[in-house]
Structure 1
Amino acid sequence: MRRRIEPQATGNEPANKKDAADKTTPSKAEAKGRLSYTSVLINIGKFLLLIIVIPPFLNYASLQREGQMLLPKDGQIVDISLGQKMHLLCKGQGKPVVILDAPTGMSSDIWFHVQESLATLTKVCTYDRMGLGFSKRVMQNETTGTERVWGMSTTGRMVDDLHRLLQAAGISKPFILVGSELGALNGRFYSHIHDVQVTDLVLIDPLPEDIFEEEQWKEYWYGKLLPSFQTRQFSAATGLSRMLIILGAMEPAVNGEGVTEEVVQRQKYLLSNPAHQSSAVEEHYFLNESAAQVRDITKFKPLSSRVSVSVITGDHFDKQIPEHLNQMVAKLQKKFLEESYPSANHIHIKGADRRMIYKKPSAIIQHLRRIVNQQQAKEQSQ
């Protein structure tokens, strides 16, 4: 009987199997690692997509809702013809009417303290220049507006808009015209052209029209200040501004005691509104052209002696800029006042700068109340 011979295992077989197992194990680990790395990249991509898409979308949706809710209850949207509508807010009763024109790139809310106080004495009106606040800019192909004559966002255009606004709203004349910074340029232009409509011209922190001939000032304005507003415009367009406001990293200019919640919310809405911020950028960009227009108009048509001029300035034009620039502004202000308005009443507010409208409004209010009282006494005596 034959014996069955079983194949005997050699000593090399287990080693071969082990080698095969070792060869397959790293490939699986590598595949697992690649899969894990890819999933991380996908998750990062999704996160970035959410950051890029969701904030602008939520901001846009919020702006649509807030635009109707936050329109001042006492305000009105006035049709000034040429397809344009502007926001006008008047408070109080009586004569003379006081018209307040805001600094560069700012809405009418900046006058909150001044308007509330003066409204106990007479009628006080603020307005939003075209593109700012609730005065929405029309599309270029929807109007034959005066931008074709004066250019967009320049003093000539703004004065024409203001004149048509006051006509359409039926504002009593003559009135007291108050302007700060760019508003002061507008006030000067308006008073030289429509002098019979203005009894008093009040200039707060007026910019001399030849300031942009100084290279250091141009470098500051166009190299530092304008880019900061362009950044703010980008921040509003991407929804970042709204996030910063929610986190408390960005706050409205007008706040604190006595400021209503409505005003605070309205300013937050405008900080998040890319259309408003875009117009603010344009006003800063074209300010040199606005100054040139005022220089030309004051030479062409001197101010009537019937118009009383007051100038209100602080210790600095802006405490946050280098001192040599403040000194430059002060020197040029003095020169242009001596040349253009030698009989102007100059009021100095200690410790103030260009933010005095909302930081130190009491000093401005005191002077404006005095002018209103003088005009009211004059009217009663006639």
Structure 2
Amino acid sequence: MGYRVVVVGATGNVGREMLNILAERQFPADEVAAVASSRSTGNRIDFGESGKELTVRNIEHFDFTGWDMALFAAGSGPTKTYAPKAAEQGCTVIDNSSLYRMDPDVPLIVPEVNPEAIDGYKAKNIIANPNCSTAQMVVALKPLHDAAGIKRVVVSTYQSVSGAGKEGMDELFEQTRAVFVGDPKENRKFTKQIAFNVIPHIDVFLGPDSGLDGYTKEEWKMTAETQKILDPDIKLTATCVRVPVFVGHSEAINIEFERPLSVKQAQAILREAPGVMLIDKREDGGYITPIECVGDYATFISRVRKDPTVENGLALWCVSDNLRKGAALNAVQIAELLGRRHLKKA
């Protein structure tokens, strides 16, 4: 006997990836429903490689009663309207938006990092999926924190346009084409040209009343979510940058520890860490780049080295498919964890 699973926002980048991963991992589902806005109602959408298709249902009329889990990939607006409805009807919500991440009654989960926190989901029957850039980073930080205690993290991200949805991917494609054929380049999704450029601005800027004047909301998310998931005492500062890459987020991470941790010790720890793949050769090409991580489940770590500017410091390079570990895969892993710990089927 399997689960009845709903994917809300099934026609978007992340929703489609959720369906792909449910099929790839052979999630024990007796029934899967693809749900989206009225604009997509009646469309057919692929589910797995067997040629199976699902008919998209209208979120406005969908009854969540009798469904076990709903994976939301619909953004904060629709989630605010429909997630509480699903939860009240007995369907556990796993939400990919930012809406519930900092709610003290909603667990924020990365299964490799804080699986035990999922036990608090019954307060609202909702579980939050972290920000894509946070998710891959804490997978790398967790085993190192356990070994030597992390005091401070300085991270610069290089985030692909797929993190901004289909509109971001379309804009990069259209602007790149425009550069080569000499057409005008329009900025619709991003504040500046993204083709052949980098933009040090993701999400809105925070004001002086926030205590983080000059930072963006994306940068604040990385700090707040890391502290909620991993350790509230960790200090973290981030600079988040959009880069002209279609899929795959990269991060340059500098870590200061409470206790000494050598490069070789860190490499040995990361080599055995769940969800981590260490590719770290001191040679040309002995590291992972975004294009190589696309379609993979792992969080890749390369270029582990000593940071000589602090007493106990390391620097490393972290790359992952943001549509997978940063969003869809993590949500499916949460669903698997929820099933194992709380919603066991006979």
TM-score normalised over the length of structure 2 = 0.32
Larger Rg: 1
Normalised by the length of structure 1, the TM-score is 0.30
